[in-house]
Structure 1
Amino acid sequence: MFRNFQNITENLLIADTSPPKGHWLFNHLLQVVRDPLSFFNYAREYGDIVPSRLWWTPVLLLNNPNYIEEVFSQQNRVFMRKGPIFRNNSKLLLGNGLFLSEGKFYHQQRKLAQPAFHKQMIASYGEVMVEETNHVIANWQDGQECDVYQEFVSITMSIIAKTMLGTELDAVAANNVTIALDATANRLVNRRNALFLVPNWLPTPSHLRFRRAVKQLDQIVYNIINQHSTSEENQGTFLDLVLYAQKEGSQITLQQLRDEVINIFLAGHETTAIALTWISFVLSQHPLVEAKLIEELQTVLSRRTPTVADLPQLRYTEAIALETLRLYPPVWLLERMALEDTEIAGYPVSKGTLVFASTWAAHRNPDFFPEPEKFNPSRWENGLAKRLPLGAYFPFSLGARTCLGKDFGMMELVLLIATIFQNFQLRLVPGHPVEILPSLTLRPKHGMKMLLTRR
């Protein structure tokens, strides 16, 4: 029976001014450090807008989907800036690319990149996605044990390099990208968990490792840019679009080119690799769901390679992706800062206030997802996605900062699931610890070691 989600959101409380009690000095910082996912999840019980503070900074936790939509979509101009936790720990890596830029400059960058994500362009990437996947799994052996997270990183890294940058990465370059990502993730976790932050300019071992990793990544990116700058071939990739704009007189510096390439490259491969890792995990724990997936793949594909034309028939495959993104959203927390005094549903918000919306918590709201902890792809049948408020399910963010690669990412997930699971069964290696690391993304802390069985 269809649920009346509109009535549910209208009946929620505007605000609850009695948040859970925090430490006398650190307030809720200690709880965030110890277990951020649980903190944001249980904070939902205290109201739709939960006031708090981290050190001396006022904080609002948003739990009402209408209020989340208001902040991240309707009041996007006021809440354009990402908060200092994200900015300060990723600025050296991401520069002034799409992730961190603001205002008119951000909208110019987004407009420049959009043609690379046009539906026709995205459809043309499908063949590359399947080819790169088959290239990696061709080396998998029946009975082999491997960390599938690393395997998926290899696949998605190759895909984003070919489709967005028109290049191929050698093993050394790919390894250096992985090192840079790991260093960034560790840096964010360490600094989030520190009650007293060490200044970025101090040459601590952690800071030095991070700077070395970024420097290695810079060398890779500048080499790719230089190779493309001397080429007359234009494939319509993201990098081609930016370089063409530069040649036509756009004021794009070499540094800005570097920032844009790194932003697209990192965003375009790690999140998908993480999603695939969690998909492999949940399927290994739910054999009936996997059996239904295999039945659909056999019916639609009959053992042939999947194509973009098959996507409309792979509905259950897509539902598995949607449900995994609900339970394990790669980007688990959105953070914004108020640039001026404003209100959220009549609740006063002062300039400088940090506003948090957790996809991890929002996606577990029982008002919209009955039995929220249960992995149930069938819940997405009968058009659930179209009936949900925007602020109830937003694995690709929402509003003006909705991920440009949303359609790219969903197509990639469905094609890769179909390619991998019609060829192999993946089972978690007994005793392998599965622990979530809420860093910049929702990584598996110990990877995901699985046993590969050829079908």
Structure 2
Amino acid sequence: MTSLINDTRYSTKNLHLGQILYAIKNPLNFFNEAREYGDILPFRLGWTPVLVLNNPKYIEEVFCHQNRVFMRKGHFLRNNSKLLLGNGLFLSEGQFYHHQRKLAQPAFHRQMIASYGEVMVAETNRVIATWQDGQERDVYQEFVGITMSIVAKCMLDTELDAVAASKVTAALDATMNRLVKRRNALFLVPNWLPTPSHLRFCRAVKQLDEIIYDIIHQRYTSKQDRGSFLDLLLYAQQKKDNNITLQQLRDEIINIFLAGHETTAIALAWISFLLSQNPLVEAKLIEELRAVLNGRNPTVADLPQLRYTEAIALEALRLYPPVWFSERVALENTEIAGYPVPKGTWVYASQWSVHRNPDFFPDPEKFHPNRWEDGLAKRLPLGAYFPFSLGGRTCIGKDFGMMELVLLIATIFQNFQLKLVPGYSVEILPSLTLRPKHGMKMLLTRR
């Protein structure tokens, strides 16, 4: 893509059709190759100025120091996921966002998160108890089921039956497919046109809404407060918090529910793939699990000793970040490193690309968990590694997600070895998240 842009004066330079098509069809390559053009790649899409940030200092500037100016998510995400996500934490802005985040925060305090560990391990064991030695399974779908159950129990204090779980999966699949199709389209069909794709999406969202509203109704009529995320929202509503309407309850639950299971399932799928391709790393993992656990279930108390297990999670999130790009819109005129940034500028930073910067990660394409063992995370600039985003919009479930990853890795891999089925094609589907396009079919071998 050496012809991506020859003139960095983004006030006058537009991408031509071939370059736009390249970026649409090869977004991961686009961001990787954009890094070759320096710390900032500026250009225009039509009348809209665009900046791609590659320098961790500038990423930190946007996401941390100027977070108020760059609070708004990008137009594409807002326009194409609003029907599903509503005005929940993912898309809300300004004081409303801060109010909602403060309201939800108690469900993610360290003490509360620690109490979820037993549920995480139990739900994992429940699923892998159905696995058979020598069986082939799409472990990505298995992980979706595990993480969906975990979020339902921990955040909503409820259980999903098979029918409800399938409807949730269908809604998310319809959303991701829609995002991919609309991203790949040169000309976007208006959302209000009843195309077959849009109608399927609307039906999936309606089915998901029915599940969510049923959960809300059951909890409301039970009069029980177990301190879950849902209970916090219901308590605020009963205290006449004007921000917590029934619609807002639905939006917040869907945001936490979908984000809380989708990203972890994806991370586990890529971890399985990486371990399958790196037997020496897997052997070291098993050595640690045997030394720390000796065959018993992991607990939250074991986390400080599961350092290599954690390093595997960190390294997988570096190479295959479930959220692989971040987009913001400038809400007012500002500047970044001397570059004028007019109001309305689209600003991009790609975790996929930045996490592969050899200045911070030598031999960046290699799966090398050892790189995290000497305190690398504390030495890195904030903007060099941000799988959970940065600043005021850092994922509220970051600690929850990391604990879940370590406990699930320990539970799964001390019981089973997972090897990619020979000849199985693994492709990346860069949508809103970085899914394995055809799932992750593995051969299961009981240890």
Normalising by structure 2, we get a TM-score of: 0.97
Within the candidate set 48, 67, 70, 1:57 is matched to 48
> How far 1:138 moved relative to its partner?
0.2
Question: Does structure 1 retain, via aligned residues, the 8 Å contact 2:14–2:46?
Answer: no
Within the candidate set 218, 227, 240, 2:231 is matched to 240
Question: Does structure 2 retain, via aligned residues, the 8 Å contact 1:437–1:443?
Answer: yes
SS in 2 for 1:112: helix
Letter in 2 for 1:394: F
Equivalent runs, 1:136-175 vs 2, <5 Å? 136-175=127-166
Q: Match of 2:392?
A: 400
Equivalent runs, 1:80-159 vs 2, <5 Å? 80-159=71-150
| Aligned equivalents of 1:125, 1:258: Cα separation in 2 | 23
Within the candidate set 226, 237, 262, 2:217 is matched to 226
> How far 1:226 moved relative to its partner?
0.3
| Aligned equivalents of 1:218, 1:383: Cα separation in 2 | 44
Question: Does structure 1 retain, via aligned residues, the 8 Å contact 2:289–2:306?
Answer: yes
SS in 2 for 1:391: helix
SS in 2 for 1:230: helix
Within the candidate set 158, 161, 185, 2:176 is matched to 185
| Aligned equivalents of 2:44, 2:421: Cα separation in 1 | 42
SS in 2 for 1:85: helix
Equivalent runs, 1:52-451 vs 2, <5 Å? 52-251=43-242, 252-451=244-443
Question: Does structure 1 retain, via aligned residues, the 8 Å contact 2:417–2:446?
Answer: yes
> How far 1:176 moved relative to its partner?
0.4
> How far 1:27 moved relative to its partner?
6.9
Letter in 2 for 1:98: L
Counting matched residue pairs gives 439
Question: Does structure 2 retain, via aligned residues, the 8 Å contact 1:164–1:237?
Answer: yes
Letter in 1 for 2:289: L
> How far 1:26 moved relative to its partner?
3.4
Change (3 A) 1:310 1:204: same
Letter in 2 for 1:358: S
Q: Match of 1:9?
A: none
| Aligned equivalents of 1:290, 1:138: Cα separation in 2 | 21
> How far 1:29 moved relative to its partner?
2.1
Q: Deviations over 1:360-384 (max 9, x none)?
A: 0000000000000000000001100
SS in 1 for 2:384: coil
Q: Match of 2:4?
A: none
> How far 1:22 moved relative to its partner?
8.8
Letter in 1 for 2:67: N
Question: Does structure 2 retain, via aligned residues, the 8 Å contact 1:327–1:364?
Answer: yes
| Aligned equivalents of 1:29, 1:227: Cα separation in 2 | 49
**Unpaired runs of at least 5, structure 2:** 1-6
| Aligned equivalents of 1:22, 1:37: Cα separation in 2 | 22
> How far 1:18 moved relative to its partner?
6.6
SS in 2 for 1:450: strand
Question: Does structure 1 retain, via aligned residues, the 8 Å contact 2:8–2:43?
Answer: no
> How far 1:389 moved relative to its partner?
0.5
Letter in 2 for 1:40: F
Q: Deviations over 1:347-406 (max 9, x none)?
A: 100111100000000000000000000000000011000000000000000000000000
Moved more, 232-241 or 405-414: 232-241
Change (3 A) 1:208 1:45: same
| Aligned equivalents of 1:348, 1:22: Cα separation in 2 | 15
| Aligned equivalents of 1:147, 1:45: Cα separation in 2 | 37
Q: Match of 2:36?
A: 45
Question: Does structure 2 retain, via aligned residues, the 8 Å contact 1:27–1:55?
Answer: no
SS in 1 for 2:328: strand
Question: Does structure 1 retain, via aligned residues, the 8 Å contact 2:78–2:91?
Answer: yes
> How far 1:346 moved relative to its partner?
1.3
Change (3 A) 1:28 1:58: farther
| Aligned equivalents of 2:63, 2:162: Cα separation in 1 | 39
Letter in 2 for 1:202: L
| Aligned equivalents of 1:113, 1:327: Cα separation in 2 | 30
Identical aligned residues as a percent: 79
| Aligned equivalents of 1:301, 1:164: Cα separation in 2 | 27
Question: Does structure 2 retain, via aligned residues, the 8 Å contact 1:29–1:55?
Answer: no
Letter in 1 for 2:152: A
Moved more, 175-184 or 48-57: 48-57
SS in 1 for 2:73: coil
Letter in 2 for 1:41: N
Question: Does structure 2 retain, via aligned residues, the 8 Å contact 1:61–1:355?
Answer: yes
Q: Deviations over 1:10-62 (max 9, x none)?
A: xxxxxx8278x998643742122110000001100101111022343211000
> How far 1:232 moved relative to its partner?
2.2
Moved more, 31-40 or 46-55: 46-55
C-alpha RMSD over aligned residues: 1.3
**Unpaired runs of at least 5, structure 1:** 1-15
Letter in 1 for 2:371: R
| Aligned equivalents of 2:56, 2:145: Cα separation in 1 | 36
SS in 2 for 1:201: coil
Q: Deviations over 1:126-157 (max 9, x none)?
A: 00000000000000000000100000000000
